[in-house]
């Protein structure tokens, strides 16, 4: 970074440094020069340093010298705080170390790695279960989509904006999503999808027989690998008779990692039926009695995507601007055990009125604008809950079928080699004699193929076989392995011939996923809705004495009236 030939980009700058110096009362005499020159970029700072160091104080000058010398500034750790633990399915972040500013960014000694559950998104990707395309520069390949045993679209949610469209899908609970998928499968069935050309060409059974024959040719080396068109199970699909109302019994609503509470459960039915809607979420706040009998509002959970620090700052701002009254103190007592923001109230305050004001004026109550837009075969669609689950099952059908084809191909390849080794062991003396009589290794291969009706792959395997494999125990291992491979081939072939078994496999794998990673719901759901706040809701209910003085009018005489109103 300090080499002379190192070229800085336009974004390589030290943030806030110019504003700090220009805003300091220590440098008002030199404000003209400081405003004239820009020194928040490394090349400029190095160039202006001889003049700048004459102006700066000893303390500030030492900081600038470190920046020029090292290219960035390390500072001492003031305090380390543990953030509240949140459930994640994709990545885990661990950052107990210090941070520093470098080139305009806050950098961390941070470890970011896949969460254990995220492995399920990539499971079997090495088994040709998904298609790959060129990257933007055609130097590498990338998957069009992931195998996704973990139904990540609903679990982690999604948010993004594209040209003319946007998506915002809330996160959900793993146990509930798995239960809903299994219920969808139980109420569904495999369907056959065929174009007019495919109907005239061959049925699903014919197509499966063709694939198995092609796999045999690939295993023996007579054909190359299967093409993407051949491994894609385009002739099978899935449909289900389940309804949105039935699915809501399994997925009553989103489950946010920050907890909170959702109000108006009836509105969720519209969200899941149409793919769009507004979800009202409140944080969890409890009115308690603090030290010396003073009332407190303790906030322990926040609505999804609400920043705690920003919420605390907003409350402080409202108190300072006197838009919130009755608050004596505000503290953030969050620690490794969880989030806790304490709002101390004045003795004469009305806690419920203060809490209502917090809901109205801060993001302690917020709404989540759900918009379930996702790509289906490359085309964006607004999907309801049932459509999302059905599309997931269809996707897994393809993945499991392609994985089965891959495993069957590999099993057939191994069985083909083992059959060759068995032939060699059964005719050991003749094989040894044939090899010894051959002048070269290539001649030996040709002679083995000719004499024992072997394939090129089998002959090569025999020539590569180590002498120790001729022992009796090694021969037993080959026989045992061959029997196991044959059993596996029968099982895989049965799966290809019966698409219903694919649904059984999907159900079984989801059940294992639930047992391994499932946890309890965090977000509460209430049936009743949260009404709009009126001014009366924000005023404490108390007896008020009002005196009304009426002036005398012609022919009438009024006396002072005292009335008590309950507001």
> pLDDT tens digits, residue range 513-555?
999 999 999 999 999 888 654 555 555 556 667 777 776 554 4
CA–CA distances in Å: residue 300 to residues 171, 283, 305: 20, 8, 15
* Residues contacting 554, CB < 8 A, separation 6+: none
Which pair of tokens denotes residue 183? 């219920």
More confident residue, 452 or 556: 452
Is 553 a member of any domain?
yes
Q: Is the pLDDT of residue 92 over 80?
A: no
pLDDT (average), residues 29-58: 84
Q: Is 448 exposed, middle or buried (0-12, 13-18, 19+ CB in 10 A)?
A: buried
Check residue 30 and give its pLDDT.
86
* b/e code 26-46 from CB counts within 10 Å (16+ = b): ebeebeeebeeeebbbbebbe
- Reduced to 3 states (helix: H, G, I; strand: E, B; else coil), residue 382 is strand
Check residue 87 and give its pLDDT.
63
Check residue 43 and give its pLDDT.
76
Lowest mean pLDDT among 220-229, 370-379, 480-489: 220-229
260: nearest Cα among 526, 519, 82: 526
Q: Could you give the dihedral angle defined by the CA atoms of residues 13, 17, 23 and 29, in that order, rounded to the nearest 10 degrees? A: -100
Quickly list H helices, 15-88. Answer: 17-23, 31-36, 42-55, 58-70
Helices and strands counted in the chain (H then E): 20, 22
CA–CA distances in Å: residue 256 to residues 213, 430, 465: 50, 71, 58
| Residue 175, number of CB atoms within 10 A of its CB | 19
**What residues does 524 pair with on adjacent strands?**
261
Q: Is the pLDDT of residue 401 over 70?
A: yes
Q: Is 282 exposed, middle or buried (0-12, 13-18, 19+ CB in 10 A)?
A: buried
More confident residue, 20 or 437: 437
The string of pLDDT tens digits covering residues 329-387 is 999 888 878 889 999 999 888 999 999 999 999 999 999 999 999 999 889 999 999 99
Owning domain of residue 104? 1-113
The string of pLDDT tens digits covering residues 157-191 is 889 888 888 999 999 999 999 999 999 999 999 98
Which pair of tokens denotes residue 383? 């999907």
Q: How far apart are CA 411 and CA 79, in angstroms?
A: 58
Q: Is the pLDDT of residue 307 over 60?
A: yes
pLDDT (average), residues 130-155: 91
Which of 98, 113, 128 is at the close of a domain?
A: 113
Is 47 a member of any domain?
yes
Which pair of tokens denotes residue 470? 């001729």
| Residue 499, number of CB atoms within 10 A of its CB | 22
* Residues contacting 15, CB < 8 A, separation 6+: 40, 101, 104
Q: How far apart are CA 32 and CA 41, in angstroms?
A: 19
Q: How far apart are CA 406 and CA 409, in angstroms?
A: 5
**96 band by pLDDT with thresholds 50, 70 and 90:** very low
97: nearest Cα among 68, 74, 77, 113: 77
In 54-109, DSSP assigns E strands to: 91-94, 99-102, 105-108
Is 11 a member of any domain?
yes
Which pair of tokens denotes residue 563? 């009335």
Is 373 a member of any domain?
no
Is 441 a member of any domain?
no
Which of 87, 113, 139 is at the close of a domain?
A: 113
Is 77 a member of any domain?
yes
CA–CA distances in Å: residue 548 to residues 2, 411, 559, 565, 566: 80, 96, 10, 12, 16
Is 358 a member of any domain?
no
Check residue 105 and give its pLDDT.
44
Read off φ and ψ for residue 347, nearest 5 degrees. Answer: -65, -35
464: nearest Cα among 411, 412, 421, 419: 421
Strands 99-102 and 105-108: antiparallel
Check residue 2 and give its pLDDT.
41
Which of 78, 113, 148 is at the close of a domain?
A: 113
Specify the pTM: 0.73
Q: Is the pLDDT of residue 28 over 90?
A: no
Strands 158-162 and 341-345: unpaired
Q: How far apart are CA 342 and CA 354, in angstroms?
A: 13
**Residue position matching structure tokens 């102006």:** 55
Strands 188-192 and 236-240: antiparallel
The count of structural domains within the chain is 2
Is 332 a member of any domain?
no
Mean pLDDT of the chain: 83
pLDDT (average), residues 447-456: 92
Lowest mean pLDDT among 32-41, 384-393, 549-558: 549-558
Find the helix or strand (DSSP H, E) in which 359 lies: helix 351-361
Q: Is 495 exposed, middle or buried (0-12, 13-18, 19+ CB in 10 A)?
A: buried
């Amino acid at each position: 970074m300090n080499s002379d030939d190192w070229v800085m980009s336009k974004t390589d700058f030290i943030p806030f440094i110019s504003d700090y110096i220009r805003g300091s009362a220590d440098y008002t005499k030199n404000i003209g020069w400081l405003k004239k020159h820009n020194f928040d970029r490394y090349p400029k700072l190095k160039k202006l340093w001889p003049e700048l160091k004459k102006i700066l104080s000893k303390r500030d000058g030492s900081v600038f010298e470190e920046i020029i010398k090292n290219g960035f500034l390390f500072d001492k750790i003031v305090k380390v705080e543990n953030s509240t633990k949140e459930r994640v399915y994709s990545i885990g972040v661990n950052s107990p170390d210090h941070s520093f500013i470098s080139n305009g960014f806050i950098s961390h000694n941070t470890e970011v790695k896949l969460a254990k559950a995220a492995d399920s998104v990539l499971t079997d990707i090495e088994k040709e279960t998904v298609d790959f395309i060129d990257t933007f520069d055609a130097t590498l390949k990338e998957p069009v989509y992931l195998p996704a045993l973990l139904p990540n679209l609903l679990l982690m949610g999604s948010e993004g904006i594209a040209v003319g469209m946007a998506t915002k899908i809330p996160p959900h609970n793993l146990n509930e999503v798995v239960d809903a998928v299994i219920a969808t499968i139980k109420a569904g069935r495999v369907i056959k999808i065929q174009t007019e050309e495919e109907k005239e060409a061959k049925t699903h059974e014919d197509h499966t027989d063709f694939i198995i024959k092609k796999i045999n040719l690939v295993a023996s080396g007579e054909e190359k690998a299967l093409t993407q068109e051949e491994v894609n199970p385009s002739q099978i699909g899935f449909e289900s008779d389940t309804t949105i109302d039935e699915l809501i019994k399994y997925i009553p609503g989103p489950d946010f990692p920050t907890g909170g509470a959702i109000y108006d459960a009836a509105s969720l039915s519209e969200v899941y039926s149409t793919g769009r809607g507004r979800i009202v979420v409140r944080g969890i706040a409890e009115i308690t009695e603090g030290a010396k009998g003073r009332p407190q509002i303790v906030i322990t959970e926040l609505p999804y995507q609400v920043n705690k620090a920003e919420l605390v700052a907003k409350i402080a701002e409202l108190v300072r601007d006197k838009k919130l009254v009755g608050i004596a103190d505000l503290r953030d007592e969050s620690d490794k055990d969880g989030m806790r923001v304490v709002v101390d109230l004045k003795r004469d305050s009305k806690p419920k009125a203060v809490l209502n004001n917090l809901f109205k004026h801060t993001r302690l109550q917020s709404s989540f604008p759900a918009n379930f837009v996702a790509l289906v075969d490359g085309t964006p669609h607004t999907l309801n809950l049932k459509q999302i689950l059905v599309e997931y099952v269809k996707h897994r059908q393809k993945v499991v079928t392609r994985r089965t084809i891959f495993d069957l191909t590999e099993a057939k390849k191994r069985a083909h080699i083992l059959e060759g080794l068995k032939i060699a062991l059964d005719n050991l003396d003749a094989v040894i004699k044939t090899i010894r009589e051959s002048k070269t290794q290539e001649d030996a291969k040709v002679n083995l193929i000719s004499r024992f009706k072997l394939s090129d792959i089998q002959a090569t395997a025999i020539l590569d076989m180590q002498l120790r494999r001729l022992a009796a125990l090694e021969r037993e291992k080959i026989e045992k392995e061959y029997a196991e491979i044959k059993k596996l081939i029968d099982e895989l072939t049965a799966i290809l011939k019966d698409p219903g078994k694919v649904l059984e496999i999907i159900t079984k794998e989801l059940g294992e996923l639930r047992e391994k990673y499932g946890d309890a719901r965090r977000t509460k759901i209430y049936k009743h809705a949260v009404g709009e706040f009126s001014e009366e809701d924000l005023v404490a209910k108390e007896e008020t004495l009002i005196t009304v003085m009426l002036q005398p009018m012609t022919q009438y005489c009024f006396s002072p009236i005292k009335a008590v109103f309950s507001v």
